[in-house]
Amino acid sequence: MAESTSATDAGRVPPAGSAGPADGARRLERATLTTVPAYARPRVPLDARRTGIVHLGPGAFHRAHQAVYTEDAMAATGDPAWGICAVAPRGRAVVDRLRPQDGLFSVLRLDRDGGAGEPPVRVIGSVTEVLAAPDDPAAVAARIADPAVAVVTLTVTEKGYRRDRATGGLALGDPLVAHDLTGAPPRTAVGLLVGGLRLRHRRGGGPLTVVSCDNLPSNGPLVRRLVTDLAARLPGAGGLPEWIEAHVAFPSTMVDRIVPATRPRDLARIAELLGVRDEGAVAAEPFGQWVIEDRFPGGRPRWEVAGADLVDDVAPFETAKLRLLNATHSAVAYLGALAGATTIDQALALPGMAAFTDHLTRREMLPTLRPCPGLDLEEYRTRVLRRLANPALGHTTRQVGADGTEKLPVRVLAPLRHHIGEGRLPHGVLLTIAAWMRYVTTAPALDDPRAQALAPARAHADAPERVVATLLGLGDVFDPETAELPGLRPALTAHLTLLTRHGVQAALREFKD
């Protein structure tokens, strides 16, 4: 279900191009809220809020998604007990943006048609506190142990969980994981979470729910596994693993909203609309979706009144999103970047790209999906393609293409196995993987946690057969069973050879109807 964005307060939305603040405008904070247009002010009374949620990883996506749903739920129910303590697990950038603003920030709607009749921006007031974990990990643990806190949410990206893809558990060889296992002040998101759970256990605290909001299959069980792995290995863990088993729930979720990197022009537009400067602002598409497995032993906000879907089984929704949206996003990013497109909408406008994405989603992804109660998958598929083509987003191919070794396996390998297992070669999926291979071997700079492991393939970028063999040999990206699928190696080599010798346009011509 899409997020509601209708105004709930009086005040006229100023038209585009109306006068904005002079240079040197005051910064958004409590003291300047009275100068912000009434329609854009927080929907909850700031003085009434109490902290009931701890969130790890308050990046742009969290601010444009869970923080919005939570404010809307508090406003709709009149229950102010679900304010968010936002915790930056590693860096200080978000803290330095939000703390001087009393946790306030704005969300700008990026509409292709200007969003006539809808408020273009709103200030969110659901964040009650901002902590930097490196400065004071004990304060983070104390917040998680606070009896008033009933929910911990996470958006730390796929790589932030530091898991071993082969075992499904913690990456024990990771230096930061090894540090946390000594019992020293934690440096990972899972370590911070376990530190808080240990303190809650020692204090005899009540039940808690941990909610991962990252694009990972079965993210609830995955986080449970990582947490229990670490808890069982901590020095002096005592009965912590057993307490977690009895008192902590890990429901799965599916989250969806496209939130590109905030641009200078977005900040300028926000300043023009609000009359104040916002250094914590984010920009996002109008669409939003949140599907949550309804297991919350300690209570939760009534997110359903804000548009979230509370269900018994998230899996079919999660799979549909990973394959129809995320996999397509990656495919367009890699092919577009190779063709010189800077943004996703530019990439979608390339000759042949529309036919390719239609083929990929309709013929190769839809047949692998289970029905989703209440969701028309064909309508969802076509809406995904419209959303990606929104030129107001300006979502860069480089941003979407980052961290491919983390993203690609969870987005395309299951459909690949499905089709090859039924005796078919899924050419759209194969081209997606080949485009990733060409991208990671030729891009001037890589933003990927396995950049070092990719270096041998980069040394032979123009030898497709060698690149395919090298990259299929990365065991934590392609599991051995997948790497040895019948026909996979020659099919990938053929697609990569076409891309290498003749370019993206030649590859896309294969998909013209």
For 394-442, the pLDDT digits (tens) are 999 999 999 999 999 999 999 999 999 999 999 999 999 999 999 999 9
Closest Cα partner for 357 from 308, 323, 404, 402? 323
The residue type found at 131 is L
For 247-282, the pLDDT digits (tens) are 999 999 999 999 999 999 999 999 999 999 999 999
Between 61 and 7, the more confident residue is: 61
Q: Are residues 464 and 497 in contact, defined by beta-carbon separation less than 8 angstroms?
A: yes
Q: Are residues 321 and 329 in contact, defined by beta-carbon separation less than 8 angstroms?
A: no
| 23 pLDDT higher than 90 | no
- The pLDDT, as a whole number, for residue 480 is 93
Assign 3-class secondary structure to 375-440: ECHHHHHHHHHHHHCCCCCCCEHHHHHCCHHHHHHHHHHHHHHHHHHCCCCCHHHHHHHHHHHHHH
Alpha carbon distances (Å) from 304 to 215, 257, 308: 21, 17, 4
Task: State the average pLDDT over residues 299-324.
Answer: 96
- The pLDDT, as a whole number, for residue 22 is 45
For 101-129, the pLDDT digits (tens) are 999 999 999 997 655 567 899 999 999 99
Kindly report which listed range (1-15, 73-87, 123-137) carries the lowest average pLDDT score.
1-15
User: Which residues are CB-neighbours of 342 under 8 A, at least 6 positions away?
Assistant: 396, 397, 398
H helical segments located in 315-370: 315-320, 327-338, 344-348, 353-358
Tokens describing residue 329:
């996003």
Global confidence as pTM: 0.89
* CA dihedral over 318, 324, 327, 328, signed as positive or negative: negative
- The pLDDT, as a whole number, for residue 117 is 61
- The pLDDT, as a whole number, for residue 184 is 93
Task: Please give the distance of CA 299 from its chain centroid, rounded to a whole number.
Answer: 24
Task: State the average pLDDT over residues 340-369.
Answer: 97
Task: Give the confidence band of 13 by pLDDT, cuts at 50, 70, 90.
Answer: very low
- The pLDDT, as a whole number, for residue 5 is 29
- The pLDDT, as a whole number, for residue 391 is 95
DSSP secondary structure code for residue 312 in this structure: S
What is d(CA 14, CA 120) in angstroms, rounded to the nearest whole number? 9
For 149-162, the pLDDT digits (tens) are 999 999 999 999 99
- The pLDDT, as a whole number, for residue 112 is 77
Dihedral Cα 361, 366, 372, 375, nearest 10 deg: 50
